[in-house]
């Protein structure tokens, strides 16, 4: 009985991280943006209102990379699929693989910020001195305009941090 309980608790412990990630992706909890296919993004209606998106780029102190957005902000039509570019450079003398974590602020807006394609979905390897342009394709779901808690929202911040993988 005790062994079965221990195995069950271990299994729950192993499953908790993937289940939490799925929960965050489904609800936007913790500033986790939504994901959509290109086909789903093509069906999104455009709104008459625009919003500002601010981009923030950070690097873990243990990763010898430089990382920045090409543009600090973009003004986008709500519902329009938009492309933002980030630039990363490996400043070390050897190849390094990094993984980007991300979030949205304010956290409540994450359920309406939808990524279609993103460098953050896969690990990125840069050779010594290599610089790479890294795109993210996204849109803001027009349903954000129906959310009374976000009625006065004028700007969303998309933030990335690269970590050693």
Span 47-69, average pLDDT? 95
In 60-108, which ranges are E strands? 65-69, 73-77, 82-90, 96-105
User: Quick one: tokens of 18?
Assistant: 């993937």
SS3 52: strand
Domain 33-164: give its CATH superfamily.
Ctag/Cox11 (2.60.370.10)
36 half-sphere exposure, CB direction, 13 A CA radius: 21
Q: What is the pLDDT of residues 112-125, one digit of tens each?
A: 999 999 999 999 99
Q: What is the pLDDT of residues 64-101, one digit of tens each?
A: 999 999 999 999 999 999 999 999 999 999 999 999 99
**For residues 104 and 56, what is the distance between their CA atoms, to the nearest angstrom?**
10
Span 13-17, average pLDDT? 44
pLDDT of residue 47: 73
**For residues 111 and 148, what is the distance between their CA atoms, to the nearest angstrom?**
14
Mean pLDDT of the residues in the chain: 84
pTM of the model: 0.76
| The residue to which tokens 């981009």 are assigned | 55
Vertex 127: Cα angle to 121 and 129 (nearest 5): 115
Instruction: Report whether 34 contacts 115 (CB < 8 A).
Output: yes
Residue 74: CB atoms within 10 A of its CB come to: 18
């Amino acid at each position: 009985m005790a062994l079965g309980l221990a195995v069950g608790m271990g299994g729950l412990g192993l499953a908790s991280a993937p289940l939490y990630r799925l929960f965050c992706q489904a609800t936007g909890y913790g500033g986790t943006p939504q994901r959509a296919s290109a086909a789903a993004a093509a069906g999104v209606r455009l709104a008459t209102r625009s919003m500002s998106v601010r981009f923030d780029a950070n690097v873990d102190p243990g990763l010898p990379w430089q990382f920045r957005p090409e543009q600090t902000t973009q003004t986008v039509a709500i519902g329009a699929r938009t492309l933002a570019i980030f630039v990363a450079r490996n400043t070390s003398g050897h190849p390094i693989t990094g993984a980007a974590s991300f979030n949205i602020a304010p956290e409540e807006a994450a359920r309406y910020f939808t990524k279609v394609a993103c460098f953050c979905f896969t690990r990125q390897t840069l050779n010594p001195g290599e610089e790479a342009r890294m795109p993210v394709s996204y849109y803001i779901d027009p349903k954000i305009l129906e959310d009374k808690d976000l009625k006065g929202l004028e700007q969303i911040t998309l933030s990335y941090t690269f970590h050693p993988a």
